[in-house]
Structure 1
Amino acid sequence: MIVLYKSNTGFTQKYAEWIAEELNCSAISIKDINVNELQNYETIIFGGGLHAGKINGLKPIKNDIFKMKDKNIIIFVTGATPKEAIKIEEIENANFSLEEKESLHLFYFHSGMNYEKMGISSKGMMSIFKSMLKIKKDKSPEEQGMYDTITKSNDHSKKEYINPLIECVKTII
């Protein structure tokens, strides 16, 4: 078993390390592994942050891991949006084909915003998004909540959020 991750601001790495600790395996950044090495593992867990509906870091390894038909594939996604406001089906539809969806387990973990570690382009996009939300009249409760969430750095990650993923792994191995 292996936990792979792509982390820009540290939240996905934190979750990957918590998962690896619970499952007694390694957590490795995708930049530090050769895809061919994945043949050595029965269970591949991959995590990336959610950016505009897409899972960060998934594209470079997606085709390779789904070609390995005999592998258990588990994907986790981290993001600043509270889990209650996330539609997991939308994440699945934006990132996976019908066939791929049949062979994976997908989990979402609430994380946060880290402007100090965020790249300049991401900061710029967030600034535009914040400005759009700020000037919008008659914000819905969801829009107001989003605005409040993205105005400053915050951390909502909790180790207990990984429990459903850990239970899933225990049932498939």
Structure 2
Amino acid sequence: MSKIAVIYKSTYGATKKYAEWISEELGADLIERDSAKANMLIDYDIIMYSGGIYASSISGSDLVSKNACKHLIVFTVGLTNPETMDYTDIMHRAFPNQNIQPQKVFHLRGAIDYGKLGFLHRNLMKMLNKAVEKKAESEMNEVEKVIKDTYGKQVDYINRESIRPIIAYIQGIA
């Protein structure tokens, strides 16, 4: 039996919820990113890393992008629809070292509640929304469309069924 760790970085709880579900389904160790250390990675056959997408970056991904793992699986959590979003630039920024790349990447939809955003995130979203308001919808990229559609609202796209492909993939390599 493979030893599996699910390491996550969650700011508002969506990523944590997915990480808990995956850890539960796989019987994996659940580790919050701030508690994880590079030397821990060698103790596991499979590392699953998850971070929320903020400002086109994967939160906390430096742990796994700078330290090789036997099997590294990444799942991101963001508001954009994975079926229409191109994550290429985000993945290149998160994993610039060609020698350390995830074996497989999954993208899941998260949630936002503007009433619970911290000062920095609330003001960042306000600035982004002002820029988006000046554009015609036909000129907006996927992120800008999501900002337009969700600004000021409470939106929850979290879905337990969306972890099924991740579970199946891990069970296939474990």
TM-score range, shorter chain: 0.7 to 0.9
For 1:20, the equivalent position in structure 2 comes to 23
**2:107 counterpart letter in structure 1:** Y
- 1:95 aligned onto 2:94: yes
3-state DSSP of counterpart to 1:86 = coil
Checking the alignment, whether the CA contact within 8 Å between 2:38 and 2:63 is kept in structure 1 is no
3-state DSSP of counterpart to 2:53 = strand
Following superposition, the deviation at residue 152 of structure 1 comes to 1.4
Checking the alignment, whether the CA contact within 8 Å between 2:79 and 2:146 is kept in structure 1 is no
Q: What percentage of residue pairs aligned between the two structures are identical?
A: 31
For 1:42, the equivalent position in structure 2 comes to 45
| Residue range with higher mean Cα deviation, 141-150 or 23-32 | 141-150
For 1:158, the equivalent position in structure 2 comes to 159
3-state DSSP of counterpart to 2:137 = coil
Give the number of aligned pairs: 167
Following superposition, the deviation at residue 99 of structure 1 comes to 3.0
Distance between the aligned counterparts of 2:147 and 2:123, measured in 1? 17
- Length-normalised TM-score, structure 1: 0.86
Q: 1:171 to 1:120 in 2, by over 3 A?
A: same
For 1:2, the equivalent position in structure 2 comes to 5
Q: 1:44 to 1:145 in 2, by over 3 A?
A: closer
**1:128 counterpart letter in structure 2:** M
Q: 1:145 to 1:56 in 2, by over 3 A?
A: closer
Distance between the aligned counterparts of 1:4 and 1:16, measured in 2? 8
Q: 1:86 to 1:164 in 2, by over 3 A?
A: same
1:81-131 deviation line (CA, Å, top 9, x unaligned): 111231133332222233333x52111001121334432111111011111
- Length-normalised TM-score, structure 2: 0.86
Following superposition, the deviation at residue 21 of structure 1 comes to 1.1
**2:148 counterpart letter in structure 1:** Y
Q: Which runs of 5+ in 2 are unaligned?
A: none
Following superposition, the deviation at residue 145 of structure 1 comes to 4.7
Checking the alignment, whether the CA contact within 8 Å between 1:72 and 1:172 is kept in structure 2 is no
Checking the alignment, whether the CA contact within 8 Å between 1:3 and 1:28 is kept in structure 2 is yes
For 2:137, the equivalent position in structure 1 comes to 139
Query: RMSD between aligned alpha carbons?
Result: 1.9
Distance between the aligned counterparts of 1:62 and 1:162, measured in 2? 23
Distance between the aligned counterparts of 2:36 and 2:145, measured in 1? 40
